[in-house]
Structure 1
Amino acid sequence: KHALFVNRLDSVESVLPYEYTAFDFCSEKTMKRPSENLGQVLFGERIEPSPYKFEFKKPVVCQKVCTRTYDTNNPSDKAKLDFLKKGMLLNYQHHWIVDNMPVTWCYDVEDGQKFCNPGFPIGCYVTEAGRPKDACVVNSNFNEKDAFYIFNHVDITIYYHIVEHEQLGARLVAAKIEPKSPCTGGPKFLKNKHTGVFNIPYTYSINFEDKNIRWASRWDYILESMPHTNIQWFRNMTQLFVLLLYIYVLMSLVLQEDAQEEFGWKLVHGDVFRPPRKGMLLSVFLGSGTQIFIMTFVTLFFACLGFLSPANRGALMTCAVVLWVLLGTPAGYVAARLYKSFGGEKWKTNVLLTAFLCPGVVFADFFVMNLILWGEGSSAAMPFGTLVAILALWFCISVPLTFIGAYFGFKKAGIEHPVRTNQIPRQIPEQSFYTKPFPGIVMGGILPFGCIFIQLFFILNSIWSHQMYYMFGFLFLVFIILVITCSEATILLCYFHLCAEDYHWQWRSFLTSGFTAVYFLVYAIHYFFSKLQITGLASTILYFGYTMIMALIFFLFTGTIGFFACFWFVTKIYSVVKVD
């Protein structure tokens, strides 16, 4: 017999996923639980066998699985029943798997189209006013007020394709489910204020259909029905950002005429490579940013090749974590080399901060979030053993590699600048509004954010609305455009500042493109209040806690792009053009 596997249950109204067994459903005790990779554990996936079994081409009708009995006078039973009701009230969704394919629930939506959801609800609730919530709207018989309707029966349809000239004979190409309440008779409901004994019999039916779908295309029916709402809004916003781009270029042409015939930047040649303030912190940020940049590039490249598709569960996160651990060497090297070029001598402090500052902030935030998940009993809480394994990867692999990179960075000669630095700093003249630091930094982040906000919507949907993300080709293209836009915007503003005889470009170039992360944070806050229905203090704290981690990573990533683009530009213009 073949078994369906069950994954953790989640909800768009709560950030807290729970294991299948947390809701006291029928469970399988004899089969061994499949092993999970690091990415699956980090994402809170908890796959385990279920008692729902089938034999190929042998239909089953109203097969009984088990019966759960609850006595509200028993505190333990009452707690289980209350937790089940809470799950239905928050619209928690099952996620079942067969042959590594998600079992989908397909239903009619507007314009006569069908939407296939890779999950189906536990049940639904009808309010005291008689208003059906969530899945209760699909059945007009769900009309009992202040009652929970339990989907304790499922009709499963297995679609297969006969393969000629192969020993396998047939391949599974799709699996769909229709939740019901119950198999026969009237709907099974539980009054909100029910007292006494309550029985829930769980049953299932299985049917088989031959369907001419190629093995390579068996995910298409899920991906084609993924929601692409607000595309028209996105198009209008894109046009707005194109308009802003034209205005941006126009401003550059107008300001260029006032740039003292381009002589302003030549006057500061003796100060342009003067070490910045807080050079230690800047070098550490740039080292960590380099680590994140290479990790992102390689991960997206592999995803474009199809190695990290949704079919390979947890592969994307596993790849990213392993790459980050192995890329400690370039982080240490870049931080050490730049710190040495800034004239720094505290190499021990530099390498320790590179190895522990940014990763430590991320881990501390993650650990606090994990404590909340532990307290809520969520399946997303990382087991203690996995937490120790993450720390071992960090301390035993990433940190030594960072030290090795820093060793070679400090050992190598400092970066040679094309012009000498004067001993006495040049006085910076009074700046106009557009060339002051803060307005320039704020303007610099607008265009890069305009390149990513469309993909950002789908990424946030994937993380928080539990939808599959599969547009890695588009994402890689957006990644390239983001790198180019961050570089061009930062170089343009850097040139304006140099023409205005302001030579403090190092921190400004980092913060100009890094300010894109602030727009990302604002958008994430807007997404929380406009797109999600998350309730509860714990879920809200978790959302913003994880969002802060993403914003910090994005800040280091974009800031590093801006700095190195500006560094290349400044080095180029002062080495190619002879300065009197």
Structure 2
Amino acid sequence: MEQNNGDDDLNNRTKHHRRPITMRTKFAGSLSLANIILIATIILYHCEIGASDEHDHLYSSNDEVVLWMNTVGPFHNRQETYSYYTLPFCKGPKKGISHHHETLGERLQGVELEFSQLDIQFKVNVDKTKFCEVKLTKFDVQSFEYAIRNYYYYQMYIDDLPITGSVGDLEETDKNGPVYIYTHKKFDIGFNGNRIVDVNMTSQQKVKLELGSTLEFSYEVNWRPSNVKFEDRFDKYLDPNFFQHRIHWFSIFNSFMMVIFLVGLVTMILMRTLRKDYARYNRDEEMDDMDRDLGDEYGWKQVHGDVFRPPAYPMLFTIMIGTGWHIATVTFLVICFQIMGDLYTSRGSMLSTSIFAYAATAPVNGYFGGSLYARFGGRRWIKQMFLSAFALPTMVCGTAFFINFISIYYHASRAIEFTTMLAVVSIILFIILPLTLVGTVLGRNISGHPDNPCRVNAVPRPIPEKKWFMEPSIIVMMGGILPFGSIFIEMYFIFTSFWAYHKIYYVYGFMMLVFLILTAVTACVTIVCTYFLLNAEDYRWQWTSFMAGASTAGYVYLYSFYYFFFKTKMYGLFQTVFYFGNMALFSAVLGIMCGTFGYVGTRAFVRKIYSTVKID
């Protein structure tokens, strides 16, 4: 009986006033900021990506082809992985490279490539050859049996092409009966010219696990010419039937129509309403003081002296806004890199690119957060700069540090080594922090001067009572529903590719559309919410607009619970902690970004309406 490797087989088996600044100064400052980001991004991106390939994928006849053994773990717990040789497998007789030098992204993702010591040469067939044997002890039998009963699969790489296979098999008629292990690996490798374009592996020769018996492990290699082009060799691992299903297309179209509807609705309602407001306020201007006192004044104009008052906790607020701009910039860049470069074909490339894009674009955080803090009149700008630089890295590292304890306890490959931690800390201290300082200085000098269209009163205006559904807390809870609805379907595809059935997410064009749709929907919703809030003469719009957009994250996190219990078969402490810890982090990052979308759109709206009305 034979067992072909692959995820499908495994799945089937398991189921104030502004100081004047010249345009030249603005342009020069903006240009310098753009140059810093561009140069840093190019250098860091090329350094990282260039270092990720161990060779140029070109071979001559008889050249050594390395089979790297990666990790092994339960099929349903995709992130619970262990080094391949934690199971009592044995290595081949060939000596040579003992360990692959992983990139930063690979190390953080738990990639542990070790040389299999099997002799494979380019275009050289190998008949069935025994390469080692293992005499089973009680511990060996227990280890293999546990792995097989929990549907452990392993992963290998040849020329950066992944190969998967299961450790063993169970009796089809008796799942509690004896277990069998596969001892023979048959490799079928396709080549096109001097490049490897296809790799398949078939697991054969089932042997019953018995104490004291000897397992003889063998392999064979067959080379065959292939018409597959090198640039297309990864297509076999993609699943267009899943990701390009008509439901996916329909969800994108549905979300796009939601944007058109919302933008039109916001424009129509607000313009008609604002036109009436402007007409009423103009009539008020023509009244004398006595008529105006007898009149019933109400609406958003009444809070013009407080609407541009700095929010509560201005330092925290500006940290969130600066971080949100930073996250949005990194998200946009990484999606663009994915569309242009197909980073999903290289191990750890997306994570590495995200880290270095985040480091290279750190001036964005300093610029927007620092300039906003200066406009609010903040004086402790150095403290604000430090907190902005460290806020998100501290959140990420704190979550990773907690999960790392569980990984170490389980001896999982996800355990982060000290040298990797040191590398991340070095990036934060020596790249992110200095670049954040540069951005902060530029932001304070270029756009850090108050330019509000209305003066701020010295004494805050009391906030009148209003209906319960106009309270900021209710607005915040309702503000995230439509933005979540616009990304709901895409969340399913992203979750499935990352958490569930070993599918590779590659439709980053869809992701870019969803990203833009999310931006537009969030801005539209928060603008409407803010208009009604101001009309109720409540000027606390800054935090309300931010939190209304950020509440999308709460719905995403609630959805992650549904997905865990009803769409996956995950189990165990490690996978549960890893899942909910990372989903909490993902939701927090998404919330900060969406909150920034809400505030930025709302601020533009508020400035517009108060700059076009006559105010005494």
Of 409, 424, 428, the match for 2:463: 428
> CA, structure 1 residues 414+247, in 2 after alignment: closer, same or farther (shift >3 Å)?
closer
Is the CA contact 1:63–1:204 (under 8 Å) kept in the aligned structure 2?
yes
- Give the deviation of 1:217 after TM superposition: 2.0
Deviations 1:157-194 (A, max 9, x none): 22233x4xxxx4xx3221112222x1xxxx3122xxx5
Which residue does 1:9 correspond to in 2?
72
Which residue does 1:116 correspond to in 2?
none
- Give the deviation of 1:512 after TM superposition: 1.0
Q: Please give the secondary structure, in 1, of the residue aligned with 2:569.
A: coil
Cα distance in 2 for residues equivalent to 1:341 and 1:375: 49
Q: Please give the secondary structure, in 2, of the residue aligned with 1:146.
A: coil
**Number of residue pairs aligned between Structure 1 and Structure 2:** 528
Q: Please give the secondary structure, in 2, of the residue aligned with 1:51.
A: coil
Which residue does 2:168 correspond to in 1?
123
Cα distance in 1 for residues equivalent to 2:259 and 2:323: 31
Q: Does 1:159 pair with 2:190? A: yes
Is the CA contact 2:71–2:154 (under 8 Å) kept in the aligned structure 1?
yes
Q: Please give the secondary structure, in 1, of the residue aligned with 2:503.
A: coil
- Give the deviation of 1:234 after TM superposition: 9.0
Cα distance in 2 for residues equivalent to 1:331 and 1:437: 27
Which residue does 2:159 correspond to in 1?
99
**TM-score normalized by the length of structure 1:** 0.83
- Give the deviation of 1:62 after TM superposition: 2.7
Of 390, 397, 402, the match for 2:424: 390
Which residue does 2:388 correspond to in 1?
354
Which residue does 1:150 correspond to in 2?
181
Which residue does 1:189 correspond to in 2?
208
Is the CA contact 2:302–2:537 (under 8 Å) kept in the aligned structure 1?
yes
Matched letter for residue 420 of structure 1:
R
Q: Report 1:162-561 matches (<5 A).
A: 163=193, 168=194, 171-180=195-204, 182=205, 187-190=206-209, 196-224=211-239, 227-228=242-243, 232=247, 261-262=276-277, 264-306=299-341, 308-411=342-445, 413-465=448-500, 466-561=502-597
Deviations 1:332-367 (A, max 9, x none): 232222222223233343223222333212211111
- Give the deviation of 1:514 after TM superposition: 0.8
Matched letter for residue 347 of structure 1:
W
Which residue does 1:30 correspond to in 2?
95
> CA, structure 1 residues 229+13, in 2 after alignment: closer, same or farther (shift >3 Å)?
farther
Cα distance in 2 for residues equivalent to 1:243 and 1:279: 34
- Give the deviation of 1:532 after TM superposition: 1.8
> CA, structure 1 residues 276+205, in 2 after alignment: closer, same or farther (shift >3 Å)?
same
Cα distance in 2 for residues equivalent to 1:88 and 1:231: 37
> CA, structure 1 residues 403+239, in 2 after alignment: closer, same or farther (shift >3 Å)?
closer
Cα distance in 1 for residues equivalent to 2:69 and 2:379: 56
Is the CA contact 2:91–2:131 (under 8 Å) kept in the aligned structure 1?
no
Matched letter for residue 282 of structure 1:
F
Cα distance in 2 for residues equivalent to 1:277 and 1:314: 41
Deviations 1:352-392 (A, max 9, x none): 32223332122111111112111211111111111111111
**TM-score normalized by the length of structure 2:** 0.78
Deviations 1:292-337 (A, max 9, x none): 111111111111112x422232221111111212333221232222
Q: Please give the secondary structure, in 1, of the residue aligned with 2:91.
A: coil
Q: Please give the secondary structure, in 2, of the residue aligned with 1:102.
A: strand
Cα distance in 2 for residues equivalent to 1:124 and 1:248: 56
Cα distance in 2 for residues equivalent to 1:256 and 1:333: 33
Is the CA contact 1:241–1:447 (under 8 Å) kept in the aligned structure 2?
no
> CA, structure 1 residues 248+302, in 2 after alignment: closer, same or farther (shift >3 Å)?
closer
Cα distance in 1 for residues equivalent to 2:465 and 2:559: 35
Q: Report 1:64-103 matches (<5 A).
A: 64-72=130-138, 78=139, 80-103=140-163
- Give the deviation of 1:87 after TM superposition: 2.2
Is the CA contact 2:338–2:344 (under 8 Å) kept in the aligned structure 1?
no
Q: Please give the secondary structure, in 2, of the residue aligned with 1:152.
A: strand
Is the CA contact 1:152–1:179 (under 8 Å) kept in the aligned structure 2?
yes
Q: Please give the secondary structure, in 2, of the residue aligned with 1:380.
A: coil
Cα distance in 2 for residues equivalent to 1:85 and 1:406: 58
> CA, structure 1 residues 254+338, in 2 after alignment: closer, same or farther (shift >3 Å)?
closer
- Give the deviation of 1:253 after TM superposition: 7.0
Which residue does 1:109 correspond to in 2?
none
Is the CA contact 1:12–1:533 (under 8 Å) kept in the aligned structure 2?
no
Cα distance in 2 for residues equivalent to 1:160 and 1:230: 31
Is the CA contact 2:266–2:524 (under 8 Å) kept in the aligned structure 1?
no
Structure 2, unpaired ranges of 5+: 1-63, 279-298
- Give the deviation of 1:540 after TM superposition: 1.1
Which residue does 2:12 correspond to in 1?
none
Matched letter for residue 206 of structure 1:
V
Structure 1, unpaired ranges of 5+: 73-77, 104-118, 133-144
> CA, structure 1 residues 447+242, in 2 after alignment: closer, same or farther (shift >3 Å)?
farther
Higher helix proportion (structure 1 or 2): 2
> CA, structure 1 residues 55+515, in 2 after alignment: closer, same or farther (shift >3 Å)?
same
Cα distance in 1 for residues equivalent to 2:340 and 2:259: 34
Is the CA contact 2:108–2:416 (under 8 Å) kept in the aligned structure 1?
yes
Deviations 1:16-72 (A, max 9, x none): 211112112222572223321111111111222223433444443432121111222
Identical pairs, percent: 31
